[in-house]
């Protein structure tokens, strides 16, 4: 056994860089849930997310010598994963976006159901993932990314700066704009409200 629970990420990285490739399996095992969670939240499709997550770990392996340890390895992985997800979202064939009217007509019931269940603590089920993907798809990719990193993955502002490679002011401004944009959906789903 090359590593146990007490072996730190830095120690594992040192082993990998010294030629002990098998030590990388411990890093993958340890960080797989986080990377997979981000990829599923961003891409909305579990199979696509798994391919993306594999790409993330391959890229991280090739660039392991670039990891300087300024931030946590998990945050550095989030940066690699964020870039991969953004690449995939941007290179995906862009469909013409529906008008809000047709979106509400087609998805309104599902969106209202999820909003009604919003008080529950249960994790997002796979059968809802496609609907959520379509809802989040109405946001610009970078808004979607920062909201996912903050709300789903729970990164604090310092970690967001490292993961997104931007300043603190930029993190604050982008989060505020992303939330305001996200709130627009309620204006269309619940038009009687004054939001």
Partner 1 sequence: MSHEAFRALLSEFRDEALPAARRQEVAAHVADCASCRAELRDWDRLANAFLRRPIEPAAGETERFVRAVMARLPEPEPARVPFWETLSAAWLVPAFGAACAALLLSFAPSGPRYASAEPLFVADGQDVVIAPAARPASSGLDETLGLGDDAQ
Note the residues at the interface with partner 1 (CB under 8 A): 18-19, 21-22, 24-25, 28-29, 32-33, 36-37, 40-41, 50, 53-54, 57-58, 61-62, 111, 114-115, 117-120, 122-126, 129, 132, 135-136, 147-148, 150-152, 156-157, 172, 175-176, 179, 182-183, 185-186, 195
Min CB(71)–partner 1 separation in Å: 18
Q: Are 178 and 139 in contact (CB under 8 A)?
A: yes
Nearer to partner 1, 79 or 135 (CB): 135
Nearer to partner 1, 12 or 36 (CB): 36
In Å, how far from its chain's centre is CA 126? Answer: 16
Burial class (CB in 10 A: 0-12, 13-18, 19+), 100: middle
Measured distance CA(28)–CA(48) in Å, rounded: 18
Tell me the two tokens of residue 115. 């909003």
Nearer to partner 1, 85 or 93 (CB): 85
């Amino acid at each position: 056994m090359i590593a146990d629970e007490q072996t730190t990420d830095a120690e594992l990285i040192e082993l990998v860089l010294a030629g002990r490739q098998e030590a990388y399996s411990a890093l993958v095992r340890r960080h797989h849930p986080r990377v997979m969670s981000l990829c599923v939240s961003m891409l909305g499709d579990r199979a696509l997310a798994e391919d993306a997550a594999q790409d993330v770990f391959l890229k991280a392996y090739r660039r392991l010598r670039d990891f300087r340890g300024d931030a946590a390895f998990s945050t550095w992985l989030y940066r690699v994963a964020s870039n991969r997800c953004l690449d995939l979202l941007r290179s995906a064939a862009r469909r013409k976006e529906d008008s809000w009217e047709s979106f509400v007509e087609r998805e309104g019931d599902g969106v209202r159901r999820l909003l009604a269940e919003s008080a529950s603590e249960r994790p997002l089920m796979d059968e809802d993932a496609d609907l959520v993907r379509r809802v989040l798809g109405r946001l610009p990719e970078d808004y979607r990314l920062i909201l996912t990193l903050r709300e789903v993955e729970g990164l604090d502002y310092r970690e967001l700066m490292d993961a997104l490679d931007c300043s603190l002011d930029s993190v604050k401004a982008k989060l505020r704009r992303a939330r305001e944009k996200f709130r627009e959906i309620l204006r269309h789903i619940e038009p009687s409200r004054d939001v």
